[in-house]
Structure 1
Amino acid sequence: MKRFLLFLLMASPAFAIAQSNFQKGYVVTNAKDTLKGYIDYREGQKSPSSFVYKAEPNSIPKIYTLNDCVACHIDDRASYQRFLVNISLGSDQISNLTTQVDTTSKREAVFLQVLEAGPNVTLYSYADRIKNRFYILDKEAMVPDELVMQLYYKEGESGRLITNIKYARQLSFLMKKYEKSNLVNERRLANLKYKEDELVQVVALINGQQKLKPKFKQSRWFAGLSVDMANTKFRGKNPLAGADAKSKMSVSPMFSGGVDLFINPAIRRLVMRVELAFVKSKSEVTSAAGGNSFDQLNAVFTPSLLYHIYNADQFKVFLSAGPGLNYSKINNLVNFKYEKEILTDDLRKVDEPMELNKFYLTIPVTVGVVMNKRIELLAGYTVPTSMTSYVYYSVERERFRLGLNYLFGKH
């Protein structure tokens, strides 16, 4: 199991690089020709500089760059248009700010992603390593204007952050121009955040439209049942840490459930998974010197990142990892009492009973497959982690997991 997980970890970059995600769409060339076909739409491709196009699923791919096309559309997923625009260079990272407003910019041809289009204005986004930006195009203009948001510290007042919400004033002008301004809408602009969801709502108001519901669900629920296999090991200066110590594996049912949050709902390759699991298991370690046993009821809360290293429509392969936050209740503890040397004025020996922590951290790693969009088969391994706080020895619990999850919701 451990070797298999290690192999998948090492191989996952190759899977990710090799796999493409061609979806129906079209490219508009410089000559205004519309080429229908398939576009490779990948995770994280928010502001691409080129597109990979196929006329047919089995055709040889061709790359269209900023010099070759003016627009690209991927059905039900994303749409991009090429513009020569001003791009602000001022950072929005707190650690990079000063008391001087950074008004530097560059003029460059880029693909802007269409977020909301209507009869009056169109909202776009563009992202690079510096920050995310939003652009607005008035129907009477030829080129979009950047919606400007600037952060800086007020001079003479250490730590006081100032936000220039010029973007709200820009939208207020358009709202008045197209006769959509009223007291309620102006109040909304006063508290408007520089975030996609809020800007889309305001642009929909300017266009006299209702905000469209997302075509793809942002999240899904899941529930499952697993077989949990666990054994206990002692490490350090303890009679049960000897070579002759034997740990009896405990096999128990594990009940789990949670929610998946999609980073890009249109692709669903990268997922933030939040899981809560319950399992009751037994522990028994024996050696020639004695033994130890206890019953353990665990509640494990695990936020993790799940990545589909193969992401076809009806079959997926994934790998996930994240910290496991354990709350443990121990019953029927039979301590192996041992003699431990402690240094005082004289050297003497004392008996000390064992105590296990109620809260501790584990690191579970999981691999699995998804079939027919509903059934998820998984195998997991939890790295041995100490459940005690002693200096001279530790008690560790190693876990293996085989399970099945059912994925709810529309896919």
Structure 2
Amino acid sequence: MRKLYLLFLVGLLIPFLSNAQSNYKPGYVVTPQGDTIKGFIDYREWDMTPDTIHFKKTIGDNNFVEYGPNNITFFNVDGLESYQRYEGPISTDATAPDQVGIDRDTSFTTAIVFFKVLEKGKKLALYSYKDKIKERFFMGEQPGYFPKELIFRVTRSNTEFTFRRQISAAVRKIGEWNEDLETIISKADYLGTDILDVFNRINHITKAEYNKSHPRAVGYQLFAGLGLDITNKLPDGQYQYTSTGRHTSVLPVISGGIDVFANPNTRRLLFRFELMIADGSYTANYYGTLKSFNITTFSLVPQVIYNIYNGNNLKLFGGVGLGLNDYVYEKGAYNPQSFDTTGMLQAGVQLHNQLELFAHYLQDGRGSADTQFGVKYLF
């Protein structure tokens, strides 16, 4: 089991060993003088709002320029995300239930940062900023659309939905108030989806219009696979002391499943749910008599996969998984098992977002192991 845990640990370290990998996408930056510079921006899995970006004028440049809010006022990754410079107050009170205090916290800091532009309509604009403390939303009114924070505060005894009153006041000011909209505002939570829905209604943007101007990549893909399963079983049970050596089976394995992307735009981190069906055939010497059996293994294998190299037409990946296995014996019996689990390590290469060449290594707690090689087709 120690070896199994070590394999999992190595697999979990894969993402941390590849932070330097770049992912340049077409885009542009705007300088403080108002000049627009087209080029390529290193688009990352930005769980938090980026402090700086890496920019190249041409994709083949060996060196990049690092830009922050002190150097540019705006940047856009074509078809994906836009950010603008902001200088002003930002709240610093915590809102996570396990971090809030008894007293009301109105603390803030003055910062120069980038804001993500979620929407900029005819009436209002919506921005977001996320750091280690929390995610905040900001509202901008035309004509200048200067961001003002939408306030949401939490204490151990109270929750303040101040942002609802702020939005409602803005709606009345611009002449868009109606009872239906007021009801929606009064039920909105401090979530990007809820607030964005309200702003779409205020700006008279339909869902179809918003989706057209903010296209989203597909968040999943289906796949089917075919490979060779080399199973190496260690005798135990009634054969433990009468059979010598390991017993090996080399037979096909088929699989299928679905990949769900953490960020559909980058497709770097994904969660795979794979159903595998593998056949095995073994012969054991039991007191001088050859005993044979056939077994079919059904496995559901949830996996976490990370593209260490994430090019447009070439990806190199590694991952870990946990196999949940059930067995059907077709002939004889060799230490019959019902349900057990196996740890998985894997690596491979993906070509043109359609073909995947893979290698799997699976091991259970009894010392038996499977090595699988094959190909998957991505739909």
**TM-score, structure 2 normalization:** 0.85
Aligned to 1:224: 225
CA–CA distance in 1 between the matches of 2:340 and 2:139?
Answer: 50
Match of 1:62 among 55, 61, 65: 65
Aligned to 1:159: none
Aligned to 2:75: 72
Q: Return the index of the structure with the highest Cα Rg.
A: 1
| Percent identity between the two aligned chains | 30
CA–CA distance in 2 between the matches of 1:91 and 1:285?
Answer: 64
5 Å-filtered alignment, 1:28-107, equals: 28-44=30-46, 46-59=48-61, 60-107=63-110
Structure 1 residue 116 and structure 2 residue 114: aligned?
Answer: no
CA offsets per residue over residues 131-161 of structure 1, 9 Å max, x none? 222222112455312222333322xxxxxxx
**Contact 1:365 / 1:381 at 8 angstroms: preserved in 2?**
yes
Aligned to 1:349: none
Displacement after TM superposition at 1:181 (Å):
3.8
**Contact 1:30 / 1:70 at 8 angstroms: preserved in 2?**
yes
SS of the residue corresponding to residue 296 of structure 1 reads strand
CA–CA distance in 2 between the matches of 1:376 and 1:321?
Answer: 16
CA–CA distance in 1 between the matches of 2:345 and 2:290?
Answer: 30
Structure 1 residue 169 and structure 2 residue 140: aligned?
Answer: no
SS of the residue corresponding to residue 94 of structure 1 reads coil
Aligned to 1:317: 316
Structure 1 residue 206 and structure 2 residue 202: aligned?
Answer: yes
5 Å-filtered alignment, 1:188-207, equals: 188-207=184-203
SS of the residue corresponding to residue 172 of structure 2 reads helix
Q: Which amino acid in 2 is paired with 1:174?
A: A
**Unaligned 5+ residue runs, structure 2?**
none
**Unaligned 5+ residue runs, structure 1?**
155-161, 336-353, 387-395
Distance 1:304 1:186, change over 3 A: farther
Number of matched pairs: 367
CA–CA distance in 1 between the matches of 2:218 and 2:18?
Answer: 23
SS of the residue corresponding to residue 167 of structure 1 reads helix
Structure 1 residue 146 and structure 2 residue 149: aligned?
Answer: yes
5 Å-filtered alignment, 1:10-29, equals: 16-29=18-31
Displacement after TM superposition at 1:172 (Å):
2.7
SS of the residue corresponding to residue 183 of structure 2 reads helix
Displacement after TM superposition at 1:292 (Å):
6.8
**TM-score, structure 1 normalization:** 0.79
CA–CA distance in 2 between the matches of 1:256 and 1:11?
Answer: 26
CA–CA distance in 1 between the matches of 2:159 and 2:332?
Answer: 58
Displacement after TM superposition at 1:385 (Å):
2.7
CA–CA distance in 2 between the matches of 1:27 and 1:163?
Answer: 39
**Contact 2:319 / 2:345 at 8 angstroms: preserved in 1?**
yes
Distance 1:240 1:51, change over 3 A: same
SS of the residue corresponding to residue 189 of structure 1 reads helix
Q: Which amino acid in 2 is paired with 1:175?
A: V
**Contact 1:246 / 1:286 at 8 angstroms: preserved in 2?**
no
**Contact 1:240 / 1:289 at 8 angstroms: preserved in 2?**
no
Aligned to 1:341: none
CA offsets per residue over residues 177-233 of structure 1, 9 Å max, x none? 344444443333333233223322221111111232233112222222222221221
Q: Which amino acid in 2 is paired with 1:317?
A: L
CA offsets per residue over residues 219-269 of structure 1, 9 Å max, x none? 22222222222122146xx67456972333222332222222222222111
Displacement after TM superposition at 1:333 (Å):
4.5
Distance 1:142 1:210, change over 3 A: closer
CA–CA distance in 2 between the matches of 1:63 and 1:292?
Answer: 68
Match of 2:355 among 347, 372, 375: 375
SS of the residue corresponding to residue 199 of structure 1 reads helix
Q: Which amino acid in 1 is paired with 2:343?
A: I
Aligned to 1:339: none
CA–CA distance in 1 between the matches of 2:176 and 2:124?
Answer: 12
Match of 1:361 among 334, 341, 357: 341
Aligned to 1:350: none
Displacement after TM superposition at 1:42 (Å):
1.7
Displacement after TM superposition at 1:99 (Å):
3.1
